[in-house]
């Protein structure tokens, strides 16, 4: 079915007493105001979906024929590819074309390493990828120079904050998954006054049907999902080819023994031993599903699993681009996203999230049980050190 925002009015969500939804504006008090809220971001949503879809096509093209020269290493030893840079340049360009006034983008990459001696060849490859993507789309009659592409990448240097409007982008969330041929996401969100009001997740390798039905690599399963949500308007999923969208909801599972949970593929991003202890306390029987990127938020928003735990090692600082889009996609699908103390995620403090221990995500009925299991497990782990 095609999406007509006039038709979808989200009822006020009841919050459990100890927990809050993702740090969003309160739900509207009447159906008429819900329509206004949903419609007020119509242009922004269209631009965000377009930008993320274009970036996804560029990433798919690179992943199919990835060259060793396409991969570099950043100062923190994490990998970065021509697709990361190309994706950021594309999204930045599209959004600035659509919203030229007071454009602000908080994004992961910058052009510093590309401008170093010996970087010209990779810059030219990125420029060709970006221009080929723009030509194939046909919406913008323009050819970017190499400097134009570098400037588009550097548009992502905003610090964000609690004032004004800021786009938030992870051009490839899950670069290691991207390199393995597994899951990754183009994650784009919009902050208004420090609150997430819109989110889009393009997940090129995520199956259109539930992971529990077909597994991640079923040869007969079509892949490529686009999730999108606007505050007060619910969450929708459609194939990346642009065909009809469907409204999605988080799992309604109430018994933790029947719940399955997601966690990061990379052990550096989540303490798998702590997750295992939490699952044991809850009586969860299914093994964890470990996949990269905010594709986990997308899968959870449509009910593939019921719990997502991200409990990184001490000292790790979460960045807003790793959670902003996923957070609203899950909460608008009826889920709850908090830190390990039950507090909402606060995206108003700049590039980083100040969190207690980690992030926990589930449906509203499971959250009290999950919260208790998380706190007890954290205490046990601390006392055993």
Q: Would you list which residues are annotated within the binding site? A: 108, 170, 172-173, 322
Is 84 a catalytic site residue? yes
The catalytic residue among 175, 235, 331, 362 is: 175
The pairing of beta strand 261-264 with beta strand 352-353: unpaired
- Write down how long the chain is: 385
Asked if 383 contacts 31 with a C-beta cutoff of 8 angstroms, the reply is: no
Question: Residue 47 in 3-state DSSP?
Answer: helix
Q: Give which of 95, 107, 5 is closest to 50, Cα–Cα.
A: 95
SS3 sequence of 239-302: ECCCCCCEEECCCCCCCHHHCCEEEECCHHHCCHHHHHHHHHHHCCCCCCEEECCCHHHHHHHC
Is 346 a catalytic site residue? no
* Beta partners for residue 383, in sequence order: none
The catalytic residue among 84, 154, 182, 304 is: 84
Q: Would you list which residues are annotated within the binding site for Mg(2+)? A: 108, 170, 172-173, 322
Kindly state the helix (H) or strand (E) to which residue 307 belongs, with its residue range: strand 307-310
Q: How many CB atoms lie within 10 A of CB 278?
A: 27
Catalytic residue list = 84, 175
């Amino acid at each position: 079915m095609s999406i007509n925002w006039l038709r979808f009015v989200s009822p006020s969500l009841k919050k459990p007493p100890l927990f809050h939804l993702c740090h969003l504006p309160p739900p509207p008090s009447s159906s008429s105001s819900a329509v206004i809220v949903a419609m007020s971001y119509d242009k922004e949503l269209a631009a965000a979906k377009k930008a993320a879809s274009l970036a996804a096509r560029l990433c798919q093209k690179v992943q199919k024929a990835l060259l060793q020269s396409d991969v570099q290493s950043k100062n923190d030893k994490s990998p970065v590819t021509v697709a990361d840079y190309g994706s950021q340049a594309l999204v930045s360009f599209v959004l600035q074309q659509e919203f030229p006034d007071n454009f602000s983008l908080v994004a992961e990459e910058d052009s510093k390493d590309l401008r170093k001696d010996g970087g010209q060849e990779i810059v030219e490859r990125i420029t060709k990828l970006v221009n080929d993507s723009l030509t194939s789309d046909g919406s913008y009659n323009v050819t970017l120079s190499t400097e134009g592409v570098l400037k588009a990448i550097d548009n992502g240097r905003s610090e964000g904050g609690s004032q004004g409007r800021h786009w938030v982008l992870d051009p490839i969330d899950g670069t290691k998954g991207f390199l393995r041929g597994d899951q990754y996401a183009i994650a784009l969100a919009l902050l208004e006054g420090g609150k997430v009001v819109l989110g889009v997740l393009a997940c090129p390798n995520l199956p259109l049907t539930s992971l529990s039905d077909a597994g991640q690599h079923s040869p007969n399963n079509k892949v490529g999902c686009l999730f999108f949500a606007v505050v007060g308007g619910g969450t929708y999923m459609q194939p990346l080819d642009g065909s009809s969208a469907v409204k999605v909801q988080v799992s309604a599972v109430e018994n933790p023994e029947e719940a399955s949970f997601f966690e990061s593929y990379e052990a550096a991003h989540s303490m798998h031993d702590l997750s295992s202890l939490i699952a044991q306390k809850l009586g969860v029987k299914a093994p964890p599903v470990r996949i990269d990127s905010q594709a986990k938020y997308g899968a959870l928003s449509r009910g593939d699993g019921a719990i997502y735990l991200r409990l990184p090692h001490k000292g790790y600082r979460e960045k807003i681009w790793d959670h902003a889009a996923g957070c609203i996609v899950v909460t608008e699908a009826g889920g709850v996203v908090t830190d390990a103390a039950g507090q909402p995620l606060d995206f108003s403090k700049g590039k980083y999230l100040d969190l207690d221990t980690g992030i926990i995500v589930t449906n509203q009925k499971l959250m009290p049980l999950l919260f208790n299991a998380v706190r007890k497990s954290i205490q046990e782990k601390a006392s055993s050190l």
